[in-house]
Amino acid sequence: MGGVTSSMAAKFAFFPPNPPSYKVVVDESSGKLTITGVPKKDNVNADVLSIPTKRGNEVIALYVKNPLAKLTLLYSHGNAADLGQMYELFVDLSLHLCVNLMGYDYSGYGQSSGKPSEQNTYADIEATYRFLEENYGTKEEDVILYGQSVGSGPTLDLATRLRRLRAVVLHSPILSGLRVIYPVKKTYWFDIYKNIEKIPLVVCPVLVIHGTADDVVDFSHGKKLWEKCKEKYEPLWLKGGSHCNLEIYPEYIKHLKKFMSAIEKVSHLKIESGHHSQHSQEQSEPPRNSVDHREKPRLSMDLRQKSWSSVDQREKSRLSVDQREKSRLNVDQREKSRASIDCKEKSRSSTDRREKSREGVDLPDKARTSTDQPDKARNSIDRFGNMMRSVAFCNIDCLKHTVSEA
């Protein structure tokens, strides 16, 4: 099944530029990788990298540095694009958003080795993220994942596994691969990039950007994903925007800047509130060995504590006396009840003696009535038998009726 899924994905999901728009060469003086075939820009500090993945491929990545950056944007580009075509946008985003930006080519794209597949893209983004952590010291809470079009697939897959991620940006995202072709309501096993099932698992703020006139990935995809977000940020629905031109709208960069500012402020507020609570706690707890005026209130508190303790002791002694009194009363009540019972027993015994004397006179009558008792017993047994037979018949009839109804 995995092979079938990969082959389907390769047919309708991946269109790497052929030939690639750039080349990678080794600089003879520095021994570092450089990228050729891209527009030259002044004052651009960028590293060209070759990153191994756990699936045995080597992906080419571009890390654009901003000396004022506090956050890092990990960008997964769309279909039919590679690093050469994205180079200028990466440099501009790094500059205007004041972020470090890491972009990479999927396996089989640009100068990356291997073939494009869903599972390879998951391995590609994971390897790139780990490279940021291990080689640039980037922290998870300082990373923003940015996924465009098909790049929303690996972006959301990684986002579900990072619990301290700063934020996610989805640019013209897809609900799933199959839903781009046909608006199915059910997710099938052979579908790819099941973003509709992964988006509820993302716990960080999510910004969704989509054009209302997108003729490749319908606007409904972005809207549905935004509705399913846990941490929704104000979306950007660009009226008249298509699939590949959202960057030219002034609202695009303006809204991204607003988003970056918002998530930075949230982080600062958390840090400041943490310091404030710690500072207030330190102020409320002065040093124990200090001998200043704050010790006097503490002494008065101790005196009050002692007075309270003495009151408590008196209350306890009073309660113990009350308990002893209650126990004495209970004993007296039991004695009285026992005496009344003895009186009743005496009166009952005298009554029994009088009854016995009377019975001696009535013996002939009792002998006569004793002969009538077998007939009464026989009649009561007959009545009881008739009752049991009628009950048994009633239960059987009711059971038959119930079964016939069932």
- The DSSP code for 105 is P
Report yes or no: 84 and 20 within 8 Å, Cβ to Cβ. yes
Q: What is the pLDDT of residue 382?
A: 43
Q: Which of 273, 298, 263, 230 is nearest to 70 (CA)?
A: 263
Q: What is the pLDDT of residue 265?
A: 82
Q: What is the pLDDT of residue 333?
A: 52
Report yes or no: 72 and 102 within 8 Å, Cβ to Cβ. yes
Active site residues: 149, 214, 243
Q: Model pTM?
A: 0.67
**To 10 degrees, what angle do helices 250-284 and 83-97 make?**
50
Q: What is the pLDDT of residue 305?
A: 43
Q: Which of 179, 181, 56 is nearest to 117 (CA)?
A: 56
Q: What is the pLDDT of residue 42?
A: 85
225 burial level (CB within 10 Å; 0-12, 13-18, 19+): buried
Q: What is the pLDDT of residue 396?
A: 32
Per-residue model confidence as pLDDT tens digits over 272-286: 444 444 444 444 444
Per-residue model confidence as pLDDT tens digits over 62-100: 999 999 999 999 999 999 999 999 999 999 999 999 999
Mean pLDDT by 10-residue block, N- to C-terminus, for the chain (406 residues)? 54 85 95 94 94 98 97 97 97 98 98 97 98 98 98 98 98 96 91 97 98 97 98 97 97 98 73 42 42 39 43 46 49 49 48 45 40 42 39 35 38
